[in-house]
Structure 1
């Protein structure tokens, strides 16, 4: 029984399988389409039927894309028209301008005759206000912004310019104004009085008398005694000088000056004393202003160790010691930033092919790299010179001279004075040269010497009357007692108008019934 059951089960299982003739008719085509690769790799099986079918598909797709391409047509747009005066004013009214530049944008609509004033609130007879001159602002625009008419603002600016140049009026200057009664609401108010500190030593006041503005110039006494600050270095020179009242800018300038003579970190002792003198002005009205550093000194053991004063010679300012010796610069400045490719001495010439004396040093560098003067001098040669190509020769005095060859371009002319580090030309490959480089020579009494054997020292020295004036200036400055500039002004103007205020002018006019 079990065996027959097993056989029956197997036969039943076999009879359940479909015969191939009974399969679905479209199943074979679906399988073939599923296995069909329409985009084969054209880099593989080149020349096969599959490859040709892929190429045909690609060609068909490209042709379809080209045939259906709509094309590109540029959009025609007109240029932005320029704004006329009316449109510009309309646009400017909607801008936002900082108060430092005047802040006079926006719409400013004045009352017209169509406006019916309230009888219970009559117009004020005068207006007192204060305006501040901003950076980049003009005096006339400030007045117009305050309500003054354009023609009167220009007239006032011209009148003030007769007393002090308008460019000398510092930004931040406050101008007190009194505007009087206007004839009609559509008209601007006239200026009845004006007062301002036009300069540190000058105050201007204007008042309308008999229908016209009369200006008074009020000089302000100014004490120009330099401010001298002297004290012990202690733990920190900077903190000690700040505690003594020295401005930070003056201390920084002092450290820069003495730092060129001694080491600020190691040569200054805590027992030393600093001596700083700066330009200082103090007006009789109480204002003061501090200028640049005038004198830098260092005292050790009660005796001056260092005394430095700025002095101008031939339009060039620099700091000199009390002995009259100015800045010293030593060492050979490199004529270019490239590395040394050939030194002074015998060598095989790269073009001529035999050994000969190389009378200078070669510096490599890119074409067009700058060439500098190694020290101050006068240009004696600047032009084409034999195997040197474009060549420049400088005379430095005392029998010393330098030469610079193979330049691509020369930047100086004969007879010109050049300073240390000034560009005199650019690296090239003119003359007998195998590539862009600088041939640098040093001459002593007309003979070429090894450039590495000479050290240039540039020293500024005062002599004669310049030295006498220099020392007299030092004596004058060091005669000022420390803190003398902060004491009350001993001498003031004995006569002359006193400083007034607009309140006095306003009360006077109110008392006159105006």
Structure 2
């Protein structure tokens, strides 16, 4: 044990002696370098000696990297020189590739002994094209623009008119044509086949058989069930109706019709709209939407308004379910001239004494038109005493109007006239000192001041007409909403099938025609 203790004492004595005597210079330098931090964190202790030492180190390293950068030089590979643009196009002209690009070089392939020039380029045996009928266009002019001869175009138009009036072919209709081989270059091509959708319910196909065009009418099943759309107004009527599938034009028409009976602002969110429009749908999927047929408003589960368009006295207008039509308020001015004499006592310009002037005089040039102030029936139309040429109208409800001193009368007794319709023209017939209109208003046969009367007329349906009107409402409101959108069963087509234009073209090409 004494030996071990002596060894330990010797090993501990060596560092003590070295610390006392000091380390060698290279050992001290190594220790200093080991403790030196050349790359301190430049984000901390900014401005200290350690930070500046780190910045100097970074600058030195970056400068050394830039100074020793050798640079980049491209490696040049040897080979044949590239073709310039002219030589490249010349080379491409000898390849198949320019043909795939539409021969964009414009150069010809080098000719060989096998190449012989053609006197004339061969014509295509058939040309297939599609023409579209424009607004104000005619069927015959469309065919002529497509390359058909005038005589044949007129003959085709006459042949098509036997199946459908040419005026019924809507603008935008597409017409598929196959033009055949012509006998000479100076002649127009004949029509080998024609196909078109003449109407929603009719397709026409024509094919040349035995030198003449044979027309085939192909009827298409069309469902005429009106489209009924019903829903709750909610946050917005227009948005709700559009989401339900109502066309924009139908919604606008519905608002106009309902707006004549009540303020549109009075429609509640809990109300329901009932819109029925004319609607046609073909079995092939095409549709046509027509005008508004019925406008209804439901409140609390009961109809509040039921409006139907109806023809009365040759004029179409909207009637309520009770048979009462639109209200026409006020009178139009009987002529455009100014008032020259009012209603009341005055000295007569010809007779020379005071007497009652039972109407209002309107000045105006000779021949100026005179209008009916509102709807009515002509009871008098002819020469009447001091009034000269005179027209009297009966407006119903004990009201009537008279128009005197006309130069010419444009209506006859018993005729129904509308508000604003021309009755005659200003003149100076009868007891008159110059051209003017004498206008009178009658209440129960007695003349009253025209300035104190305002006509309000409402058409009324009665008797059989009212019964037919209500039957039409019941017919329309019996349609279930969305019933017009149910699938249509296809109708079998009888007779031989000509095929499509592609089939006709393929057949003629196979026959070598």
Class of the TM-score when normalised by the shorter of the 2 chains: 0.5 to 0.7
- In structure 2, what is the equivalent of residue 130 of structure 1? 130
**Secondary structure of the corresponding residue to residue 469 of structure 1:** helix
Question: Does the 8 A contact of 1:298 with 1:305 survive in 2?
Answer: yes
State the superposition RMSD in angstroms.
3.4
Cα offsets for 1:126-157 (capped at 9, x unmatched): 22222222333333333333333344333333
Q: How far does residue 309 in structure 1 lie from its aligned partner after superposition?
A: 0.8
Question: Does the 8 A contact of 2:126 with 2:505 survive in 1?
Answer: no
Question: Does the 8 A contact of 2:377 with 2:414 survive in 1?
Answer: no
- In structure 2, what is the equivalent of residue 496 of structure 1? 494
Q: How far does residue 306 in structure 1 lie from its aligned partner after superposition?
A: 0.8
Residues 116-125 or 308-317, more deviating:
116-125
Distance verdict in 2 for CA 1:124–1:465, change over 3 Å: same
Gaps of 5+ in 1: 1-115
Q: How far does residue 242 in structure 1 lie from its aligned partner after superposition?
A: 2.6
Residues 285-294 or 337-346, more deviating:
337-346
- In structure 2, what is the equivalent of residue 464 of structure 1? 463
Question: Does the 8 A contact of 1:134 with 1:172 survive in 2?
Answer: yes
- In structure 1, what is the equivalent of residue 229 of structure 2? 229
Residues 500-509 or 433-442, more deviating:
433-442
- In structure 2, what is the equivalent of residue 144 of structure 1? 144
Q: For residues 206-217 of structure 1, what are the structure 2 equivalents within 5 Å?
A: 206-217=206-217
Cα offsets for 1:177-213 (capped at 9, x unmatched): 2223334444433332221112221111122233332
Q: For residues 86-105 of structure 1, what are the structure 2 equivalents within 5 Å?
A: none
- In structure 2, what is the equivalent of residue 474 of structure 1? 473
Distance verdict in 2 for CA 1:301–1:509, change over 3 Å: same
- In structure 2, what is the equivalent of residue 245 of structure 1? 245
**For residues 463 and 203 of structure 1, what CA distance do their matches in structure 2 show?**
44
- In structure 2, what is the equivalent of residue 442 of structure 1? 441
Q: How far does residue 451 in structure 1 lie from its aligned partner after superposition?
A: 4.4
- In structure 2, what is the equivalent of residue 257 of structure 1? 257
Cα offsets for 1:236-260 (capped at 9, x unmatched): 3233323332222222222222222
- In structure 2, what is the equivalent of residue 44 of structure 1? none
Question: Does the 8 A contact of 2:407 with 2:428 survive in 1?
Answer: yes
**For residues 274 and 301 of structure 1, what CA distance do their matches in structure 2 show?**
12
**For residues 350 and 403 of structure 2, what CA distance do their matches in structure 1 show?**
19
Q: Does residue 154 of structure 2 align to residue 154 of structure 1?
A: yes
Distance verdict in 2 for CA 1:455–1:166, change over 3 Å: closer
Residues 442-451 or 334-343, more deviating:
334-343
**Secondary structure of the corresponding residue to residue 296 of structure 1:** strand
Larger radius of gyration: 2
Q: How far does residue 411 in structure 1 lie from its aligned partner after superposition?
A: 4.7
Q: How far does residue 307 in structure 1 lie from its aligned partner after superposition?
A: 0.9
TM-score by length of 2: 0.67
Question: Does the 8 A contact of 2:297 with 2:305 survive in 1?
Answer: yes
**For residues 352 and 120 of structure 2, what CA distance do their matches in structure 1 show?**
111
- In structure 2, what is the equivalent of residue 90 of structure 1? none
**For residues 133 and 349 of structure 2, what CA distance do their matches in structure 1 show?**
71
Q: How far does residue 330 in structure 1 lie from its aligned partner after superposition?
A: 4.1
Question: Does the 8 A contact of 2:325 with 2:459 survive in 1?
Answer: yes
**For residues 141 and 349 of structure 1, what CA distance do their matches in structure 2 show?**
68
**For residues 511 and 356 of structure 1, what CA distance do their matches in structure 2 show?**
100
**For residues 336 and 184 of structure 2, what CA distance do their matches in structure 1 show?**
76
Cα offsets for 1:307-364 (capped at 9, x unmatched): 1111113422211111111123344555456676766555666776766544x34355
Question: Does the 8 A contact of 1:383 with 1:410 survive in 2?
Answer: no
Question: Does the 8 A contact of 1:406 with 1:437 survive in 2?
Answer: yes
- In structure 2, what is the equivalent of residue 486 of structure 1? 485
Distance verdict in 2 for CA 1:371–1:180, change over 3 Å: closer
Question: Does the 8 A contact of 1:391 with 1:406 survive in 2?
Answer: yes
Distance verdict in 2 for CA 1:426–1:119, change over 3 Å: closer
Aligned residues: 395
TM-score by length of 1: 0.66
**For residues 237 and 334 of structure 1, what CA distance do their matches in structure 2 show?**
38
- In structure 2, what is the equivalent of residue 267 of structure 1? 266
**For residues 394 and 351 of structure 2, what CA distance do their matches in structure 1 show?**
30
